[in-house]
Structure 1
Amino acid sequence: ETFKDKVVDLFATHFPDKDPRTFQVDRIKGGSFNRIIGVTISQPKPQEFTWEWVLQVFHNMCGQRQVKKDEKYIIRIPRAKYEGDEMKYDVAVLQFAASRLPYPIPRVQFVDYTSENALGSPYTIQPRLEGNNLAPVQTSLTVEQNVKLTRYVMDIHRKMHSITSVAPGVIHPDTTTSSHLSLTRFLVPEHPKGHEKFLALKHATLPAESQTTKQFLLELCNRQEDLDETTQDWAWPFWHQFKQIINLLHDRGFLPDDEVFHFSHLDLLGRNLLASVDHDRNTIDITGVLDWDMEFSCFAPKFVAYKAPFWLWVTDDVNDENEDFADTISDPEKPSLVAAKRIFDETAGEDWKRFAYTPEYQIARKMFDVLKTGCANQPMQVQAQEVVRRWKDLYPEDE
């Protein structure tokens, strides 16, 4: 039995009134954390001389041609081998975002957190949103299209800025409605050489509590340091250096104690937007906002939420996560990029721009990424070193 057959069997259980012969299964490019499968349920033609066939012929003769649209779905299957515990958090985030934000966000129609199914894996089934991935065409947009896109992306961020909490954390599966918010502390990331002690630590999650930004960052730093000592009997020196930077950021007024935490999508880039682009009519419509996973969607410090969407004014050859380009236009000769940067600078407001362009906050965001993810792999170890180096360059007197 092929994987395609397994998908057909699964859909036959969820759509018992449909003919499995109308199921078309396609592989879709997935992400780092999920395998994506597309399924189209075609609408069968009515049999000749049935009432449905007669009505269809009649409508066609009257110029009222009625065409039933195919039903399209996607299956998201986690690449990691676990029994759905973390997927419960992903579903909770998705449902919370869909209930609080007025944008085309996927909804979960079916979910199984176990492996006791035709696929042998946890999965979710979602109606497939219209449109194509924006990333491949984003830099070819016209000025008018990129201006509309920039305003739309900024509007998403503003709506998320308005959703706040006195506690930082990840949305807990107990969150059942848009008005009932339950948060847990950031989950300690998995270590590739984990053992029993680590697993006990990993699942010892606690409800999130009201904290200042400084308290939250120091606590997260201590948890990562404890994780290192638990799994490898020593800790990276970055954690001690990060604590010094956090305290200095607070002492210099960059982490005031009265700030709350904001709902954030940390990977809101072109690759996670679906769009319908019509170059003939010079229009663009955003048809989907994707990737509301626990890994990227959380209640984070204000300096994290108020990052500039600078991917809107950089070219394909520029790393869309490198904030060295946040306050520059990678190709000043390209009018659409110039227009996007101008719209942000003119409409973002001084508060957002201060968080977006201030070097201390850019360093703090790189540090937060390490604090959230850990130093279990070389890229994050290099990033941690970069944080320390950039701070020393900015404040050599702190050594």
Structure 2
Amino acid sequence: MPQFSEQSPLEQYDQAYYDILQVRLLQLVSELFPEIKGSSQMIIEEIGWGSYNQVMGVTIWQSEPFQGLAATVQNFFSRLCRTAKVQRSSDHQDYAIRFPFHDGNEFTILGNDMGRDVAVLQILQSCLAIPLPKVIKYDLGKDNALQKPYILQNRIRGQTLEVLMDTLNSKQMTHIVEKIAAITAPAAGMISGENAADIRGWESKLKQFAVPTYTVAEAFPDYAQPSAEPAQAQTPLKYLIVHCQRWLAYEASMGYSKNEALWADIIVVARSLDRLGLLGDCFHLVHDDLFPRNILAEVKDSTSVEIRGIIDWDISFFAPKCVAFRPPYWAWIGEDAQERDEGNARIEPEDDTGVSLQEAFLTAASDEYIRFGFSQEGVFARQLFYVVERGVLTPCEVDLANMLVSQWRTLYPSDFTNSDSW
């Protein structure tokens, strides 16, 4: 049984789970690679896990590489296989298998929709010139040896930037963010799982952001539930206004009217951001989990690393331009920073390493990136997007929205005078 840290979400599973998983994985790998003659030509190892999915690594040799190493299920599945001093020959291929923790029918939230994951990776492979996993084979049903949906993809080798942070290649990091943001669409929303089988025309098949969100729907099961409606082509400003109106309609269906004035003020801020040119005129691709754990790299020399790939595209979508240009403030603030606190973009680093990393990033970034990523208004725009997307039905969400409106009123008081927000 693999050993996991105390923070592992896999703790809830007992030995029986792993006993079954070992057998099923062995059978699945044998079916995926029928050319192998025995288990001595494969190693299966734990790579990691996310909020919804487990990831196992698979190494396949064309010939038998192990001499004197018993190739039992226990041997090739355990961490022994990861650390054993085995000479790897050049005739091997590395893969990764992703599958959900839960049964395949439990697709209740974005991260569990593996069909969408397949579509995202296939579309990005066709239009994004940065290293990312390639889909080799997938099965979105349960009629397979694993009895779960799975994706077989190539494995990108490297260490996460969590390990290599101090030698971050800032120029390459800015290049990657700008490459991702350069992919645009006419509507806000998420790539649809319908594109898994055919990616042609994907831009016209985006799914709109759900109102209510899955989290809100779970809290209020007696009211309207999320639906995967097609996203409509519109300007970023129009999207924000319509999304506010959708939330108002949902709240009205609950008999809740306390947020009407707040939503009106949010729309005033949105109009102001549009006037300042911070929303853009189309929607840009966002990797919303672009943090060190999902950036693989290797040491290039004594002062820098080379980014080898970007993984975990589960939380990716199209949003106004300001959202796509979030700076990697985690690089120079340090481990204590709240990774989703957009205000971190305007916090100055406290140590020499952080100062050097920030200066290197600012030197490499374009003027557009700096304006959208670091300006006070750019930070406001990102914060506003997430308020609108998630709604204001909890005290924390209401407090954040009121704070943004209050601060914007201080900066641009005339925008609230005789405004026609609707």
Which TM-score band (shorter chain)? 0.7 to 0.9
Q: Deviations over 1:197-239 (max 9, x none)?
A: 644xx23x33322212222112223334445566xx3458557
Provide TM-score, normalisation by structure 2: 0.75
Instruction: Describe the SS at the equivalent of 1:184.
Output: coil
Which residue does 1:356 correspond to in 2?
A: 373
CA contact (8 A) 1:76 1:124 kept: yes
Instruction: Describe the SS at the equivalent of 2:55.
Output: strand
Instruction: Provide closer, same or farther for how the CA distance between residues 395 and 71 of structure 1 changes in structure 2, counting only shifts above 3 A.
Output: same
How far did 1:155 drift? 0.8
2:261 corresponds to 1:244: no
Which residue does 2:3 correspond to in 1?
A: none
Provide TM-score, normalisation by structure 1: 0.79
How far did 1:275 drift? 0.8
Which residue does 2:236 correspond to in 1?
A: 213
2:113 corresponds to 1:93: no
Instruction: Provide closer, same or farther for how the CA distance between residues 364 and 81 of structure 1 changes in structure 2, counting only shifts above 3 A.
Output: farther
CA contact (8 A) 2:280 2:321 kept: no
Which residue does 2:246 correspond to in 1?
A: 223
Which residue does 1:9 correspond to in 2?
A: 27
Matches within 5 A, 1:93-242: 93-138=120-165, 140-141=166-167, 146=168, 149-175=169-195, 176-177=198-199, 181-182=203-204, 183-188=206-211, 189-190=213-214, 191-193=217-219, 195=221, 198-199=224-225, 202-203=226-227, 205-227=228-250, 233-235=254-256, 237=258, 241-242=262-263
Which residue does 1:286 correspond to in 2?
A: 307
Instruction: Describe the SS at the equivalent of 1:192.
Output: helix
Which residue does 2:285 correspond to in 1?
A: 263
Q: Deviations over 1:22-76 (max 9, x none)?
A: 333222321112122222234543899xxxxxxxxxxxxxxxx993343322221
Instruction: Provide closer, same or farther for how the CA distance between residues 133 and 151 of structure 1 changes in structure 2, counting only shifts above 3 A.
Output: same
Q: Deviations over 1:288-345 (max 9, x none)?
A: 111112x2x22210111122222222212222332333133322322xx323322333
Instruction: Provide closer, same or farther for how the CA distance between residues 119 and 372 of structure 1 changes in structure 2, counting only shifts above 3 A.
Output: farther
Task: Determine the C-alpha separation between the residues in 2 that align with 1:290 and 1:74.
Answer: 11
Which residue does 1:314 correspond to in 2?
A: 333
CA contact (8 A) 2:332 2:357 kept: yes
Which residue does 1:330 correspond to in 2?
A: 349
CA contact (8 A) 2:113 2:193 kept: no
Instruction: Provide closer, same or farther for how the CA distance between residues 283 and 234 of structure 1 changes in structure 2, counting only shifts above 3 A.
Output: same
Structure 1 segments unaligned to the other structure (5+ residues): 49-64
Instruction: Provide closer, same or farther for how the CA distance between residues 122 and 373 of structure 1 changes in structure 2, counting only shifts above 3 A.
Output: farther
CA contact (8 A) 1:94 1:107 kept: yes
Which residue does 1:35 correspond to in 2?
A: 54
Number of residue pairs matched? 363
Task: Determine the C-alpha separation between the residues in 2 that align with 1:69 and 1:156.
Answer: 31
Which residue does 2:6 correspond to in 1?
A: none
CA contact (8 A) 2:279 2:321 kept: no
- Which of 32, 39, 45 aligns to 1:21? It is 39
How far did 1:20 drift? 4.4
Instruction: Provide closer, same or farther for how the CA distance between residues 86 and 311 of structure 1 changes in structure 2, counting only shifts above 3 A.
Output: same
Matches within 5 A, 1:373-388: 373-374=390-391, 382-388=396-402
CA contact (8 A) 2:191 2:207 kept: yes
- Which of 398, 401, 407 aligns to 1:393? It is 407
- Which of 85, 94, 100 aligns to 1:78? It is 100
Instruction: Describe the SS at the equivalent of 1:73.
Output: strand
Task: Determine the C-alpha separation between the residues in 2 that align with 1:358 and 1:282.
Answer: 29
Instruction: Provide closer, same or farther for how the CA distance between residues 197 and 31 of structure 1 changes in structure 2, counting only shifts above 3 A.
Output: same
Instruction: Provide closer, same or farther for how the CA distance between residues 27 and 346 of structure 1 changes in structure 2, counting only shifts above 3 A.
Output: closer
CA contact (8 A) 1:218 1:243 kept: no
Structure 2 segments unaligned to the other structure (5+ residues): 1-18, 68-86, 418-422
Q: Deviations over 1:5-34 (max 9, x none)?
A: 111111111111113413332223211121
How far did 1:247 drift? 2.5
Aligned alpha-carbon RMSD (Å): 3.2
